[in-house]
Copies of this chain bind each other. A is one copy, B any other.
Amino acid sequence: MASRTIENYLKQLWLQQQESRGKYVPMGKLAALVGVTAGTATTMVKAIADSGLAKYAPRAGVRLTRAGEQLALHVLRRHRLLELFLVEILGIDWSEAHGEAEELEHVISETVLARIDLLLGHPSVDPHGDPIPSSAGKVEAPELCSLAELQTGSRTVIVRIMDQSSEFLRFAQTSGLVPKAAVVIEHNNPQAGAISARPDGKPPVILSMTAAAKFLVRPCATAGQRRRKSS
């Protein structure tokens, strides 16, 4: 049984590995994510590596082993199911749910989790559109592109928001830029460095490219609507 501390390290590690496509996560980065000093992270990571959940390469970073990944995904499953549960069943504010789930994810039993899963109808995504790993520890996150990549005049539906901070989520909510919302790109001039998006039945919202990149959408690109990013 991993302690809640270790569960946290594993979860952050997994999340970070997604960003950096499986590369070794540097100590400093992990320390910042977990909220400890670099020295503490080094010590903990060595212990985690010793128990076979991660591979530690001194001065290079850490990477989860298969076992570590599985454990991380179970934590993530608990987290995301709880988030959805808090929002859907308990009516907790979208922007607060993340923080609440952060605590609960380490104490909820399999029994309670199964009941929550059932009550929610075995959902596949949480309130931010993040995929919920299966109980077997599988996640499928479809390749999506962002609001920033769409041309003026495109229509899409927001499916996922890549920022869990309550400030950003509050902004997204009041703007109407929430998962399942239909939006029209009113302006996207790459020279301007900002876009204007109008959610259905709401006034248009101005977004920096950085902010726009946090909204993942579908359909991703109909012919000629996509603005290339790379490759």
Q: Nearest Cβ distance between residue A101 and chain B, in whole angstroms? A: 10
Find chain B residues with CB under 8 A from A91 CB.
115
* Contact code string A93-105 (vs B, CB < 8 Å = 1, else 0): 0001000100110
Q: Is the CB of A100 within 8 A of B92?
A: no
Q: Is the CB of B104 within 8 A of A111?
A: no
Q: Is the CB of A115 within 8 A of B90?
A: yes
Find chain B residues with CB under 8 A from A96 CB.
111
Overall SS of chain A's interface:
helix
Q: Nearest Cβ distance between residue A41 and chain B, in whole angstroms? A: 23
Q: Is the CB of B90 within 8 A of A119?
A: yes
Cα distance A90–B85 when bound, in Å? 11
Find chain B residues with CB under 8 A from A86 CB.
112
Find chain B residues with CB under 8 A from A104 CB.
104, 107-108
Q: Nearest Cβ distance between residue A224 and chain B, in whole angstroms? A: 47
Q: Is the CB of A92 within 8 A of B107?
A: no
Q: Is the CB of A89 within 8 A of B89?
A: yes
Q: Is the CB of B115 within 8 A of A107?
A: no
Cα distance A109–B103 when bound, in Å? 9
- For residue A85, which residue of chain B has the nearest CB? B90
Q: Nearest Cβ distance between residue A120 and chain B, in whole angstroms? A: 11
Find chain B residues with CB under 8 A from A33 CB.
none
Q: Is the CB of A100 within 8 A of B111?
A: yes
A116 and B90 contact, Cβ closer than 8 Å, known pairs A96-B111, A111-B96: yes
Q: Is the CB of A107 within 8 A of B103?
A: yes
Instruction: List A residues 169-217 near B (Cβ within 8 Å).
Output: none
Pairs of residues from A and B, 9 with the lowest C-beta to C-beta distance, nearest first: A90-B115, A103-B107, A107-B107, A100-B112, A100-B109, A104-B107, A91-B115, A92-B115, A90-B112
17 A-B contact pairs sorted by A residue (CB < 8 Å): A89-B89, A89-B119, A90-B112, A90-B115, A90-B116, A90-B119, A91-B115, A92-B111, A92-B112, A92-B115, A100-B111, A100-B112, A103-B107, A104-B104, A104-B108, A106-B107, A107-B107
4 new A-B contacts at CB < 8 Å, known A90-B119, A100-B109, A103-B109: A89-B119, A92-B111, A104-B107, A106-B107
